[in-house]
Protein backbone atom coordinates (compact mmCIF):
# COMPACT_ATOMS: atom_id res chain seq x y z
CA UNK A 1 0.00 0.00 0.00
CA UNK A 2 2.84 2.38 0.84
CA UNK A 3 4.51 1.69 -2.52
CA UNK A 4 1.24 2.33 -4.39
CA UNK A 5 0.76 5.58 -2.47
CA UNK A 6 4.26 6.78 -3.26
CA UNK A 7 3.83 5.91 -6.95
CA UNK A 8 0.57 7.83 -7.07
CA UNK A 9 2.26 10.86 -5.49
CA UNK A 10 5.07 10.70 -8.05
CA UNK A 11 2.64 10.50 -10.96
CA UNK A 12 0.67 13.46 -9.63
CA UNK A 13 3.83 15.43 -9.16
CA UNK A 14 4.93 14.80 -12.77
CA UNK A 15 1.56 15.94 -14.13
CA UNK A 16 1.52 18.99 -11.87
CA UNK A 17 5.07 19.83 -12.89
CA UNK A 18 3.96 19.91 -16.54
CA UNK A 19 1.03 22.10 -15.58
CA UNK A 20 3.28 24.47 -13.65
CA UNK A 21 5.64 24.79 -16.61
CA UNK A 22 2.77 26.14 -18.70
CA UNK A 23 2.86 29.24 -16.51
CA UNK A 24 -0.16 29.06 -14.21
CA UNK A 25 0.57 31.10 -11.08
CA UNK A 26 -2.22 29.39 -9.16
CA UNK A 27 -0.81 26.03 -10.15
CA UNK A 28 2.54 27.03 -8.68
CA UNK A 29 0.97 27.77 -5.32
CA UNK A 30 -0.94 24.47 -5.41
CA UNK A 31 2.22 22.67 -6.43
CA UNK A 32 4.20 24.20 -3.56
CA UNK A 33 1.70 23.00 -1.00
CA UNK A 34 1.42 19.59 -2.67
CA UNK A 35 5.15 18.98 -2.70
CA UNK A 36 5.43 19.92 0.97
CA UNK A 37 2.59 17.63 2.01
CA UNK A 38 3.86 14.77 -0.15
CA UNK A 39 7.40 15.01 1.15
CA UNK A 40 6.61 15.40 4.82
CA UNK A 41 3.78 12.89 4.66
CA UNK A 42 6.11 10.04 3.80
CA UNK A 43 7.63 8.18 6.66
CA UNK A 44 10.69 7.15 4.66
CA UNK A 45 12.60 9.14 2.10
CA UNK A 46 12.08 12.92 2.33
CA UNK A 47 14.08 13.91 -0.72
CA UNK A 48 12.68 15.74 -3.71
CA UNK A 49 13.94 15.07 -7.18
CA UNK A 50 12.54 17.28 -9.91
CA UNK A 51 13.77 18.76 -13.14
CA UNK A 52 15.15 22.25 -13.49
CA UNK A 53 12.92 25.27 -14.04
CA UNK A 54 13.27 27.49 -17.05
CA UNK A 55 15.64 30.42 -17.02
CA UNK A 56 12.92 32.66 -15.59
CA UNK A 57 12.16 30.40 -12.68
CA UNK A 58 14.30 28.82 -9.98
CA UNK A 59 16.94 26.18 -10.40
CA UNK A 60 15.59 23.21 -8.47
CA UNK A 61 17.90 20.29 -9.14
CA UNK A 62 21.07 20.48 -7.14
CA UNK A 63 23.13 18.51 -4.74
CA UNK A 64 20.82 19.39 -1.87
CA UNK A 65 17.83 17.77 -3.67
CA UNK A 66 15.52 20.56 -2.57
CA UNK A 67 12.87 22.44 -4.51
CA UNK A 68 12.46 26.15 -4.01
CA UNK A 69 9.24 27.62 -5.34
CA UNK A 70 9.04 31.29 -6.20
CA UNK A 71 6.08 32.27 -4.05
CA UNK A 72 5.01 35.63 -2.73
CA UNK A 73 5.59 36.10 0.97
CA UNK A 74 2.13 37.59 1.28
CA UNK A 75 0.46 34.36 0.20
CA UNK A 76 1.92 32.63 3.25
CA UNK A 77 0.89 35.29 5.74
CA UNK A 78 -1.15 32.84 7.81
CA UNK A 79 2.09 31.08 8.73
CA UNK A 80 4.43 33.93 9.62
CA UNK A 81 2.03 36.63 10.83
CA UNK A 82 1.08 34.89 14.13
CA UNK A 83 4.76 34.38 14.97
CA UNK A 84 5.55 38.00 14.11
CA UNK A 85 2.71 39.29 16.27
CA UNK A 86 3.81 37.02 19.12
CA UNK A 87 7.35 38.39 18.82
CA UNK A 88 6.13 41.99 18.88
CA UNK A 89 3.86 41.30 21.86
CA UNK A 90 6.67 39.72 23.89
CA UNK A 91 9.02 42.57 23.01
CA UNK A 92 6.51 45.11 24.28
CA UNK A 93 5.76 43.14 27.45
CA UNK A 94 9.41 42.67 28.37
CA UNK A 95 10.71 45.97 27.00
CA UNK A 96 13.58 47.33 29.07
CA UNK A 97 12.65 50.03 31.60
CA UNK A 98 15.58 52.10 30.37
CA UNK A 99 17.84 51.76 27.33
CA UNK A 100 19.15 48.25 27.97
CA UNK A 101 22.53 46.76 28.79
CA UNK A 102 25.41 49.09 29.61
CA UNK A 103 26.48 49.17 25.98
CA UNK A 104 23.04 50.54 25.08
CA UNK A 105 23.88 53.74 26.95
CA UNK A 106 27.04 54.13 24.90
CA UNK A 107 25.14 53.50 21.68
CA UNK A 108 22.53 56.11 22.61
CA UNK A 109 25.11 58.81 23.27
CA UNK A 110 27.06 57.98 20.11
CA UNK A 111 23.91 58.00 18.00
CA UNK A 112 22.92 61.42 19.33
CA UNK A 113 26.42 62.77 18.75
CA UNK A 114 26.82 61.05 15.37
CA UNK A 115 30.08 59.37 16.42
CA UNK A 116 31.06 55.74 15.67
CA UNK A 117 31.67 53.29 18.46
CA UNK A 118 35.25 52.58 19.43
CA UNK A 119 34.42 48.89 19.88
CA UNK A 120 35.90 46.47 17.34
CA UNK A 121 34.93 47.76 13.85
CA UNK A 122 32.87 50.77 14.89
CA UNK A 123 29.33 49.41 14.37
CA UNK A 124 28.85 52.41 12.13
CA UNK A 125 25.75 51.19 10.28
CA UNK A 126 23.86 50.75 13.55
CA UNK A 127 25.10 54.03 15.03
CA UNK A 128 24.53 56.23 11.98
CA UNK A 129 21.14 54.70 11.14
CA UNK A 130 20.02 55.65 14.64
CA UNK A 131 21.65 59.05 14.24
CA UNK A 132 19.53 59.65 11.15
CA UNK A 133 16.42 58.74 13.15
CA UNK A 134 17.49 61.12 15.88
CA UNK A 135 18.08 64.01 13.48
CA UNK A 136 14.63 63.52 11.95
CA UNK A 137 12.82 63.17 15.30
CA UNK A 138 14.72 66.07 16.86
CA UNK A 139 14.01 68.34 13.87
CA UNK A 140 10.35 67.48 13.43
CA UNK A 141 9.24 66.83 17.00
CA UNK A 142 11.90 68.59 19.11
CA UNK A 143 12.74 65.31 20.84
CA UNK A 144 15.15 66.13 23.71
CA UNK A 145 18.43 64.18 24.04
CA UNK A 146 17.36 62.55 27.32
CA UNK A 147 14.44 60.93 25.47
CA UNK A 148 16.50 59.71 22.51
CA UNK A 149 16.84 56.23 24.03
CA UNK A 150 13.08 55.74 23.60
CA UNK A 151 13.36 56.35 19.86
CA UNK A 152 16.22 53.90 19.45
CA UNK A 153 14.69 51.30 21.75
CA UNK A 154 11.35 51.16 20.00
CA UNK A 155 13.11 51.05 16.65
CA UNK A 156 14.59 47.74 17.82
CA UNK A 157 11.18 46.61 19.06
CA UNK A 158 9.81 47.30 15.58
CA UNK A 159 12.64 45.31 13.99
CA UNK A 160 12.20 42.24 16.21
CA UNK A 161 9.22 40.74 14.30
CA UNK A 162 10.88 41.68 11.00
CA UNK A 163 13.99 39.72 11.99
CA UNK A 164 11.86 36.67 12.81
CA UNK A 165 10.13 37.05 9.47
CA UNK A 166 13.47 37.23 7.64
CA UNK A 167 14.61 33.99 9.22
CA UNK A 168 11.20 32.40 8.57
CA UNK A 169 11.70 33.09 4.87
CA UNK A 170 15.23 31.71 4.93
CA UNK A 171 14.04 28.56 6.71
CA UNK A 172 11.24 28.27 4.15
CA UNK A 173 13.77 28.41 1.32
CA UNK A 174 16.07 25.91 3.03
CA UNK A 175 13.44 23.31 3.95
CA UNK A 176 10.75 23.95 1.32
CA UNK A 177 8.28 23.63 4.20
CA UNK A 178 6.10 26.31 5.70
CA UNK A 179 5.56 24.05 8.69
CA UNK A 180 9.30 23.74 9.34
CA UNK A 181 9.88 27.45 8.71
CA UNK A 182 7.21 28.36 11.24
CA UNK A 183 8.72 26.03 13.83
CA UNK A 184 12.18 27.50 13.24
CA UNK A 185 10.82 31.03 13.64
CA UNK A 186 9.05 29.99 16.84
CA UNK A 187 12.27 28.54 18.26
CA UNK A 188 13.95 31.90 17.68
CA UNK A 189 11.06 34.09 18.84
CA UNK A 190 10.65 32.20 22.14
CA UNK A 191 14.33 32.19 23.03
CA UNK A 192 14.58 34.14 26.31
CA UNK A 193 17.61 36.01 24.97
CA UNK A 194 15.75 37.08 21.85
CA UNK A 195 12.81 38.30 23.92
CA UNK A 196 15.01 40.29 26.29
CA UNK A 197 17.08 41.98 23.59
CA UNK A 198 14.05 42.78 21.44
CA UNK A 199 13.38 45.66 23.80
CA UNK A 200 16.83 47.22 24.16
CA UNK A 201 19.05 49.66 22.27
CA UNK A 202 21.39 46.81 21.37
CA UNK A 203 22.80 45.45 18.12
CA UNK A 204 21.61 41.84 18.35
CA UNK A 205 18.19 42.19 16.72
CA UNK A 206 19.15 44.63 13.93
CA UNK A 207 22.12 42.41 13.14
CA UNK A 208 19.95 39.29 12.86
CA UNK A 209 17.50 41.15 10.63
CA UNK A 210 20.12 42.20 8.10
CA UNK A 211 21.90 38.84 8.38
CA UNK A 212 18.71 36.89 7.61
CA UNK A 213 17.96 39.07 4.58
CA UNK A 214 21.53 38.74 3.30
CA UNK A 215 21.61 34.95 3.57
CA UNK A 216 18.19 34.61 1.92
CA UNK A 217 19.20 36.73 -1.07
CA UNK A 218 22.53 34.93 -1.40
CA UNK A 219 20.90 31.49 -1.25
CA UNK A 220 18.35 32.43 -3.89
CA UNK A 221 21.12 33.74 -6.07
CA UNK A 222 23.02 30.48 -5.78
CA UNK A 223 20.01 28.35 -6.63
CA UNK A 224 18.89 30.50 -9.55
CA UNK A 225 22.50 31.09 -10.65
CA UNK A 226 21.89 34.82 -10.79
CA UNK A 227 25.20 36.53 -10.11
CA UNK A 228 23.55 39.83 -9.15
CA UNK A 229 21.73 38.19 -6.23
CA UNK A 230 24.83 36.31 -5.13
CA UNK A 231 26.88 39.51 -5.02
CA UNK A 232 24.07 41.50 -3.41
CA UNK A 233 23.71 38.89 -0.67
CA UNK A 234 27.47 38.91 -0.06
CA UNK A 235 27.50 42.72 0.13
CA UNK A 236 24.62 42.77 2.63
CA UNK A 237 26.36 40.10 4.67
CA UNK A 238 29.40 42.36 4.80
CA UNK A 239 27.30 45.37 5.78
CA UNK A 240 25.77 43.40 8.63
CA UNK A 241 29.27 43.25 10.13
CA UNK A 242 28.93 47.00 10.65
CA UNK A 243 25.89 46.39 12.83
CA UNK A 244 27.51 43.65 14.89
CA UNK A 245 30.79 41.91 14.19
CA UNK A 246 29.40 38.46 14.93
CA UNK A 247 28.29 38.39 11.28
CA UNK A 248 31.96 37.84 10.39
CA UNK A 249 31.54 34.28 11.63
CA UNK A 250 29.17 33.63 8.72
CA UNK A 251 31.86 34.39 6.13
CA UNK A 252 32.47 30.64 5.48
CA UNK A 253 28.94 30.47 4.05
CA UNK A 254 30.15 32.33 0.96
CA UNK A 255 32.49 29.44 0.13
CA UNK A 256 30.56 26.44 1.50
CA UNK A 257 27.08 27.37 0.26
CA UNK A 258 27.92 27.16 -3.49
CA UNK A 259 29.23 23.63 -3.01
CA UNK A 260 26.20 22.68 -0.92
CA UNK A 261 23.94 24.00 -3.70
CA UNK A 262 25.62 21.77 -6.27
CA UNK A 263 27.89 24.27 -7.96
CA UNK A 264 30.76 22.72 -9.87
CA UNK A 265 34.27 24.08 -9.56
CA UNK A 266 34.18 25.64 -12.99
CA UNK A 267 35.76 28.89 -14.08
CA UNK A 268 32.54 30.90 -13.82
CA UNK A 269 31.59 29.44 -10.45
CA UNK A 270 35.03 30.16 -9.00
CA UNK A 271 34.93 33.71 -10.37
CA UNK A 272 31.50 34.42 -8.87
CA UNK A 273 32.51 32.94 -5.50
CA UNK A 274 35.75 34.92 -5.43
CA UNK A 275 33.96 38.10 -6.39
CA UNK A 276 31.33 37.57 -3.68
CA UNK A 277 34.11 37.19 -1.10
CA UNK A 278 35.67 40.44 -2.30
CA UNK A 279 32.31 42.21 -2.05
CA UNK A 280 31.93 40.88 1.48
CA UNK A 281 35.40 42.04 2.55
CA UNK A 282 34.89 45.47 1.02
CA UNK A 283 31.51 46.03 2.70
CA UNK A 284 32.63 44.51 6.02
CA UNK A 285 35.93 46.34 6.48
CA UNK A 286 35.58 49.33 4.16
CA UNK A 287 33.66 51.55 6.62
CA UNK A 288 36.10 50.76 9.42
CA UNK A 289 39.13 51.54 7.26
CA UNK A 290 37.47 54.78 6.22
CA UNK A 291 36.93 55.71 9.86
CA UNK A 292 40.58 55.09 10.70
CA UNK A 293 41.79 56.94 7.63
CA UNK A 294 39.56 59.99 8.12
CA UNK A 295 40.01 59.96 11.92
CA UNK A 296 36.51 61.36 12.44
CA UNK A 297 36.09 62.60 15.99
CA UNK A 298 39.65 61.48 16.82
CA UNK A 299 38.51 57.93 16.11
CA UNK A 300 42.04 56.59 15.83
CA UNK A 301 42.77 57.52 19.44
CA UNK A 302 39.41 56.20 20.70
CA UNK A 303 39.81 52.86 18.93
CA UNK A 304 43.31 52.30 20.30
CA UNK A 305 41.96 53.16 23.74
CA UNK A 306 39.37 50.42 23.35
CA UNK A 307 42.07 47.97 22.24
CA UNK A 308 44.15 48.73 25.30
CA UNK A 309 41.14 48.48 27.61
CA UNK A 310 40.22 45.09 26.12
CA UNK A 311 43.80 43.91 26.53
CA UNK A 312 43.77 44.82 30.21
CA UNK A 313 40.43 43.14 30.86
CA UNK A 314 41.55 40.04 28.97
CA UNK A 315 44.67 39.87 31.11
CA UNK A 316 42.61 40.12 34.28
CA UNK A 317 40.15 37.47 33.11
CA UNK A 318 42.15 35.04 30.97
CA UNK A 319 40.45 32.60 28.66
CA UNK A 320 40.45 29.05 29.98
CA UNK A 321 38.89 25.67 29.36
CA UNK A 322 36.57 26.41 32.29
CA UNK A 323 34.78 28.94 30.07
CA UNK A 324 33.31 26.07 28.07
CA UNK A 325 30.80 25.24 30.79
CA UNK A 326 29.22 28.72 30.99
CA UNK A 327 29.10 28.85 27.19
CA UNK A 328 27.28 25.52 26.96
CA UNK A 329 24.96 26.50 29.80
CA UNK A 330 23.95 29.70 28.03
CA UNK A 331 23.61 27.80 24.75
CA UNK A 332 21.19 25.42 26.44
CA UNK A 333 19.17 28.24 28.03
CA UNK A 334 18.95 30.07 24.70
CA UNK A 335 17.06 27.17 23.11
CA UNK A 336 16.98 23.84 24.98
CA UNK A 337 15.44 21.92 22.07
CA UNK A 338 18.01 23.22 19.62
CA UNK A 339 20.86 22.35 21.97
CA UNK A 340 19.66 18.79 22.58
CA UNK A 341 18.32 17.86 19.12
CA UNK A 342 21.03 19.36 16.92
CA UNK A 343 23.40 16.32 16.87
CA UNK A 344 20.58 13.98 15.82
CA UNK A 345 19.27 16.43 13.25
CA UNK A 346 22.71 16.98 11.74
CA UNK A 347 23.42 13.26 11.51
CA UNK A 348 20.05 12.56 9.91
CA UNK A 349 20.48 15.34 7.35
CA UNK A 350 23.98 14.16 6.48
CA UNK A 351 22.82 10.61 5.93
CA UNK A 352 19.92 11.66 3.71
CA UNK A 353 21.28 14.56 1.69
CA UNK A 354 24.92 15.04 2.55
CA UNK A 355 26.14 18.59 2.81
CA UNK A 356 22.89 20.40 2.01
CA UNK A 357 22.51 24.18 2.44
CA UNK A 358 20.35 23.43 5.48
CA UNK A 359 23.13 21.45 7.14
CA UNK A 360 25.86 23.83 6.00
CA UNK A 361 24.14 26.82 7.58
CA UNK A 362 23.53 24.93 10.83
CA UNK A 363 27.19 23.93 11.06
CA UNK A 364 28.25 27.52 10.51
CA UNK A 365 25.82 28.64 13.23
CA UNK A 366 27.27 26.08 15.63
CA UNK A 367 30.77 27.22 14.74
CA UNK A 368 29.72 30.83 15.37
CA UNK A 369 28.50 30.04 18.88
CA UNK A 370 31.36 27.78 19.91
CA UNK A 371 34.03 30.12 18.55
CA UNK A 372 32.89 32.77 21.02
CA UNK A 373 34.83 30.86 23.66
CA UNK A 374 37.80 33.04 22.68
CA UNK A 375 36.03 36.11 24.13
CA UNK A 376 36.89 36.67 27.77
CA UNK A 377 33.40 37.90 28.77
CA UNK A 378 31.51 34.90 27.41
CA UNK A 379 31.23 33.64 30.98
CA UNK A 380 28.71 36.39 31.81
CA UNK A 381 27.22 37.36 28.44
CA UNK A 382 24.42 34.97 27.56
CA UNK A 383 23.26 37.10 24.61
CA UNK A 384 26.25 35.93 22.57
CA UNK A 385 24.38 32.69 21.89
CA UNK A 386 21.99 34.58 19.62
CA UNK A 387 24.81 34.74 17.08
CA UNK A 388 24.39 31.20 15.77
CA UNK A 389 20.97 30.18 17.09
CA UNK A 390 18.89 31.34 14.07
CA UNK A 391 21.13 29.36 11.71
CA UNK A 392 20.73 26.12 13.65
CA UNK A 393 16.98 26.40 14.26
CA UNK A 394 15.81 25.50 10.69
CA UNK A 395 17.66 22.18 10.72
CA UNK A 396 16.29 21.23 14.14
CA UNK A 397 12.77 22.32 13.20
CA UNK A 398 12.86 20.31 9.97
CA UNK A 399 14.13 17.20 11.78
CA UNK A 400 11.49 17.45 14.51
CA UNK A 401 8.74 17.86 11.95
CA UNK A 402 9.90 14.92 9.84
CA UNK A 403 10.41 12.58 12.75
CA UNK A 404 7.05 13.40 14.29
CA UNK A 405 5.30 13.19 10.92
CA UNK A 406 6.73 9.70 10.42
CA UNK A 407 5.55 8.64 13.87
CA UNK A 408 2.10 10.28 13.82
CA UNK A 409 1.44 9.73 10.08
CA UNK A 410 0.23 13.32 9.81
CA UNK A 411 2.07 16.55 9.09
CA UNK A 412 -0.58 18.61 10.87
CA UNK A 413 -0.48 16.50 14.03
CA UNK A 414 3.31 16.56 13.95
CA UNK A 415 3.32 20.34 13.57
CA UNK A 416 0.92 20.77 16.50
CA UNK A 417 2.94 18.41 18.69
CA UNK A 418 6.21 20.22 18.02
CA UNK A 419 4.62 23.65 18.57
CA UNK A 420 3.29 22.47 21.92
CA UNK A 421 6.72 21.13 22.89
CA UNK A 422 8.45 24.37 21.94
CA UNK A 423 5.97 26.50 23.89
CA UNK A 424 6.08 24.33 27.01
CA UNK A 425 9.87 24.24 27.07
CA UNK A 426 10.03 28.00 26.45
CA UNK A 427 7.69 28.62 29.39
CA UNK A 428 9.82 26.46 31.67
CA UNK A 429 13.02 28.15 30.50
CA UNK A 430 11.40 31.53 31.06
CA UNK A 431 10.34 30.65 34.58
CA UNK A 432 13.92 29.64 35.29
CA UNK A 433 15.71 32.62 33.73
CA UNK A 434 13.34 35.52 34.36
CA UNK A 435 13.86 35.84 38.15
CA UNK A 436 17.61 36.24 37.58
CA UNK A 437 17.15 38.52 34.61
CA UNK A 438 14.58 40.65 36.41
CA UNK A 439 16.97 41.45 39.26
CA UNK A 440 19.75 42.30 36.84
CA UNK A 441 17.51 44.52 34.71
CA UNK A 442 16.15 46.30 37.78
CA UNK A 443 19.64 47.05 39.07
CA UNK A 444 20.93 48.18 35.70
CA UNK A 445 17.97 50.47 35.03
CA UNK A 446 18.95 52.55 38.06
CA UNK A 447 21.27 54.40 35.68
CA UNK A 448 18.17 56.20 34.44
CA UNK A 449 17.83 58.01 37.77
CA UNK A 450 21.55 58.42 38.46
CA UNK A 451 21.34 61.96 37.17
CA UNK A 452 19.73 62.95 40.47
CA UNK A 453 22.76 61.65 42.35
CA UNK A 454 25.08 63.52 39.99
CA UNK A 455 23.19 66.70 40.89
CA UNK A 456 24.81 66.44 44.35
CA UNK A 457 28.31 67.01 42.98
CA UNK A 458 29.84 69.81 40.85
CA UNK A 459 29.37 69.57 37.07
CA UNK A 460 33.13 69.21 36.57
CA UNK A 461 33.82 66.71 39.37
CA UNK A 462 35.79 63.50 39.05
CA UNK A 463 33.56 60.52 39.89
CA UNK A 464 34.42 57.05 41.16
CA UNK A 465 31.12 55.26 40.70
CA UNK A 466 31.86 51.58 40.04
CA UNK A 467 29.42 50.04 37.60
CA UNK A 468 27.58 53.37 37.37
CA UNK A 469 30.59 54.83 35.58
CA UNK A 470 28.68 54.25 32.38
CA UNK A 471 25.76 56.28 33.78
CA UNK A 472 28.13 59.18 34.44
CA UNK A 473 29.49 59.06 30.89
CA UNK A 474 25.95 58.68 29.54
CA UNK A 475 24.63 61.84 31.17
CA UNK A 476 27.83 63.68 30.34
CA UNK A 477 27.45 62.63 26.70
CA UNK A 478 23.93 64.05 26.62
CA UNK A 479 25.18 67.41 27.93
CA UNK A 480 24.06 67.23 31.56
CA UNK A 481 27.57 67.87 32.90
CA UNK A 482 31.32 67.70 32.28
CA UNK A 483 32.24 65.03 34.81
CA UNK A 484 35.39 62.95 34.51
CA UNK A 485 35.54 59.37 35.76
CA UNK A 486 37.95 56.93 37.29
CA UNK A 487 36.33 53.97 35.65
CA UNK A 488 35.75 50.39 36.68
CA UNK A 489 36.85 47.40 34.63
CA UNK A 490 39.48 47.95 31.95
CA UNK A 491 39.87 51.64 32.87
CA UNK A 492 40.54 50.91 36.54
CA UNK A 493 44.02 52.20 37.51
CA UNK A 494 44.72 49.29 39.83
CA UNK A 495 47.55 49.87 42.28
CA UNK A 496 47.85 53.44 40.93
CA UNK A 497 44.42 54.41 42.26
CA UNK A 498 45.76 56.55 45.11
CA UNK A 499 48.23 58.26 42.79
CA UNK A 500 45.49 59.06 40.24
CA UNK A 501 43.26 60.54 42.96
CA UNK A 502 46.14 62.58 44.39
CA UNK A 503 47.01 63.93 40.93
CA UNK A 504 43.42 65.06 40.38
CA UNK A 505 43.38 66.83 43.77
CA UNK A 506 46.69 68.51 42.99
CA UNK A 507 45.21 69.84 39.74
CA UNK A 508 42.42 71.46 41.72
CA UNK A 509 39.75 68.92 40.75
CA UNK A 510 37.18 67.74 43.27
CA UNK A 511 36.94 63.93 43.51
CA UNK A 512 33.84 62.07 44.72
CA UNK A 513 33.26 58.41 45.54
CA UNK A 514 29.90 56.67 45.37
CA UNK A 515 30.28 53.79 47.83
CA UNK A 516 26.85 52.28 47.19
CA UNK A 517 27.32 48.51 47.44
CA UNK A 518 25.06 48.03 44.40
CA UNK A 519 27.72 49.61 42.19
CA UNK A 520 30.56 47.44 43.50
CA UNK A 521 30.07 43.77 42.73
CA UNK A 522 31.47 41.20 45.12
CA UNK A 523 31.97 38.78 42.22
CA UNK A 524 35.29 37.84 40.68
CA UNK A 525 35.29 40.70 38.20
CA UNK A 526 35.60 43.48 40.80
CA UNK A 527 37.19 41.77 43.78
CA UNK A 528 40.63 43.25 43.13
CA UNK A 529 39.10 46.68 42.68
CA UNK A 530 37.34 46.39 46.04
CA UNK A 531 40.57 45.68 47.89
CA UNK A 532 42.35 48.58 46.20
CA UNK A 533 39.42 50.88 46.87
CA UNK A 534 39.24 50.00 50.58
CA UNK A 535 42.96 50.80 50.93
CA UNK A 536 42.45 54.50 50.10
CA UNK A 537 40.54 55.06 53.34
CA UNK A 538 43.81 55.42 55.24
CA UNK A 539 45.40 57.65 52.59
CA UNK A 540 42.75 60.37 52.29
CA UNK A 541 40.08 62.14 54.29
CA UNK A 542 36.39 62.05 53.41
CA UNK A 543 33.51 64.48 53.57
CA UNK A 544 30.04 63.00 53.41
CA UNK A 545 27.70 64.43 50.76
CA UNK A 546 24.83 61.93 50.95
CA UNK A 547 24.20 58.46 52.31
CA UNK A 548 26.69 56.83 49.95
CA UNK A 549 28.50 59.72 48.21
CA UNK A 550 31.72 61.06 49.77
CA UNK A 551 34.11 63.76 48.65
CA UNK A 552 37.74 62.63 48.83
CA UNK A 553 40.07 65.20 50.37
CA UNK A 554 43.84 65.31 51.16
CA UNK A 555 45.02 64.16 54.57
CA UNK A 556 45.76 67.75 55.60
CA UNK A 557 42.11 68.84 55.22
CA UNK A 558 40.93 69.04 58.82
CA UNK A 559 37.35 69.84 57.77
CA UNK A 560 36.84 66.37 56.29
CA UNK A 561 36.31 63.93 59.13
CA UNK A 562 33.65 61.46 57.95
CA UNK A 563 34.38 57.72 57.84
CA UNK A 564 33.02 55.94 54.72
CA UNK A 565 33.76 52.43 56.04
CA UNK A 566 34.95 51.12 52.68
CA UNK A 567 35.83 47.75 54.16
CA UNK A 568 32.11 46.94 54.06
CA UNK A 569 32.47 46.63 50.27
CA UNK A 570 34.79 43.64 50.62
CA UNK A 571 33.22 40.27 49.74
CA UNK A 572 33.97 38.88 53.19
CA UNK A 573 31.89 41.63 54.82
CA UNK A 574 28.65 41.37 52.83
CA UNK A 575 26.37 39.08 50.92
CA UNK A 576 27.68 38.13 47.46
CA UNK A 577 24.52 39.20 45.63
CA UNK A 578 24.94 42.38 43.60
CA UNK A 579 23.24 44.03 40.66
CA UNK A 580 26.18 46.16 39.67
CA UNK A 581 28.03 43.95 37.19
CA UNK A 582 28.98 45.56 33.92
CA UNK A 583 28.95 43.18 30.97
CA UNK A 584 31.33 43.36 28.04
CA UNK A 585 30.63 43.33 24.33
Q: How far apart are CA 542 and CA 512, in angstroms?
A: 9
pLDDT at 121: 92
Find the helix or strand (DSSP H, E) in which 160 lies.
helix 148-175
Q: How far apart are CA 529 and CA 522, in angstroms?
A: 10
Longest dimension (CA), the chain: 100
Q: Cβ atoms within 10 A of the Cβ of 306, count? A: 16
Closest Cα partner for 38 from 71, 15, 64, 61? 15
Q: What residue spans define the domains of the chain?
A: 2-41, 98-184+201-409, 447-573
Provide the pairing of β-strand 541-544 with 549-553. antiparallel
The string of pLDDT tens digits covering residues 92-102 is 999 999 998 88
Q: Taking residues 125-134, what's their average pLDDT?
A: 96
- Give the torsion sign (CA, 361, 365, 368, 371): negative
- List, in order, residues 6 or more apart from 249 with CB less than 8 Å away: 364, 367, 368, 371, 387, 388
Top-confidence residue, 12 or 446: 446
The string of pLDDT tens digits covering residues 407-461 is 999 999 999 999 999 999 999 888 877 777 777 777 778 888 899 999 999 999 9
pLDDT at 525: 65
- List, in order, residues 6 or more apart from 141 with CB less than 8 Å away: none
Question: Which pTM was predicted?
Answer: 0.83
Angle formed at CA 439 by CA 434 and CA 441, multiple of 5 degrees: 85
Amino acid sequence: MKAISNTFVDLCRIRLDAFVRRGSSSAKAIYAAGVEAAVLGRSGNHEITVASESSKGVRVKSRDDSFVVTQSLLTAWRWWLPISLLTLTLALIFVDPFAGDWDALDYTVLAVQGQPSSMILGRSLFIFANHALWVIAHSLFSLPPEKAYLLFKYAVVFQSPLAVLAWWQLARDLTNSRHAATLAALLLALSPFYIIYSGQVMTEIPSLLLLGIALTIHLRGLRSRRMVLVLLGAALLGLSVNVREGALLYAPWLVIAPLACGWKLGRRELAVTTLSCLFFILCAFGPFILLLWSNVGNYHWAWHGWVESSRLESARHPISVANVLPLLRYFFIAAPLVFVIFPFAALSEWKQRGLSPLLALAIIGLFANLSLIVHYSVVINWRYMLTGLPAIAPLVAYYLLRSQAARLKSVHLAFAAVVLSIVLIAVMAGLFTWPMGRDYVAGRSLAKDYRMRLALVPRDAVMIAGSQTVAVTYWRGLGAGEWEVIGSGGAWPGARLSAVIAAALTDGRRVFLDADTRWWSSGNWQQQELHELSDIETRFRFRRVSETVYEIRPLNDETAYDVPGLSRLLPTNRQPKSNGNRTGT
